[in-house]
Amino acid sequence: MPFGTGPGNVPVELYTLVNGELSASVCTYGGALVRLLVPDRHGAAEDVVLGYETLDGYLADQCYFGALVGRVANRISGARFTLDGREYALDRNHGAHHLHGGGGGFHAKVWGAEPGEGADGPFLTLRCESPDGDQGYPGNVAVTAVYTLLADGLRLDLSATTDRPTVVGLTGHAYFNFSGRMDRDCLDHVLTIRGQRYLETDAELIPNGKLAGTAGTPLDFSTARGVGERIGEPSEPLAAGKGYDHCYVLDGHGFRSVATVEEPGSGRCMELFTDQPCLQFYSGNFIPDGLPGKGGTVYGWRSGLCLEPQGFVDAPNNPGFPSLTLVPGDEYRNTILYRFFTK
């Protein structure tokens, strides 16, 4: 269905996928996950992602609600990197740094869309072309994102190819609040992250190239803990992020379960699977108070949390981190599965 007009007077569409009790709505502006209806322990389905009622909200959005972000998710220090001996200057949209692909990144583009039906359920294929020099990145990059609504979850398959060496690291930026009440914070959610190290950062959340252990710190979610249980404790990493905004190095390799979140009141739970090495956990510390949301809801500080599977943050500037370099003939891939269940 029509959702408005995006940049360049390009029409924006809203597609809705339905599979049993689950429903997901995605708009072609930014590939944003606009709605996700998930049942509670009594079978009552409610929307569990933050977003906006109309396209105007997404056009003005500063939070990346539900968006697909890249070419490189998260921060690139100094908004520049060197590849094959040449330095590239990127869009500086986060103080002195580059964030989530720049101001004109994939979150701010209108994607082409094609719905379909497969063995796993209904799906929506989104495609976007990023030309050479876009936001300062080299190479023409073609990106495909496929949302598939399963009987018990939502899968996001991201892929990209290039015609010259570049860097690519994509992710989805959904904000979850499994209470179904977006006017409440997410601090009562109970979280487990299967990773016991995180990237040390400076005060601007730029990695210094070192890994730190979470044991004995408020960042330890290796066993289930409430998001708000230790968020106010004295801690330099928490002070820098004004809460949780940290990149966890995940245990294991390949496609595996990396995190679980539970909202005790509704009984809604999500298990997160990915093939990526890292997971950015963000507790919504910069959501503006009084921000108008969907259905007349007003969002505020920590109204939702993000769990973003991705590569190592600022990898192009840290040779000790696994590379995000993509070359012609190779394909970048990132598969994310959000599996829902109740307790």
Characterize 189-228 residue by residue with b for buried, 16 or more Cβ atoms within 10 angstroms of its Cβ, and e for exposed.
bbbbbbbbbbbbbeeebbbeeebbebeeebbebeeeeebe
Rounded alpha-carbon distances, angstroms, from residue 343 to 42, 194, 256 = 10, 20, 22
Q: Using alpha carbons only, what angle is made at residue 187 by residues 54 and 343, rounded to the nearest 5 degrees?
A: 90
Is 173 assigned a catalytic role?
Answer: yes
Backbone angles phi, psi at 247, to 5 degrees: -100, 110
Structure tokens at 134: 């876009």
Is 308 assigned a catalytic role?
Answer: yes
The dihedral region occupied by 18, where left means phi > 0, alpha psi between -120 and 50, and beta the remainder, is beta
Helix (H, G, I), strand (E, B) or coil at 124: strand
Measured distance CA(327)–CA(324) in Å, rounded: 10
Marked catalytic residue, from 97, 173, 189, 246: 173
Contact present, 75 and 39 (Cβ < 8 Å): no
Q: What residues are labeled active site?
A: 173, 308
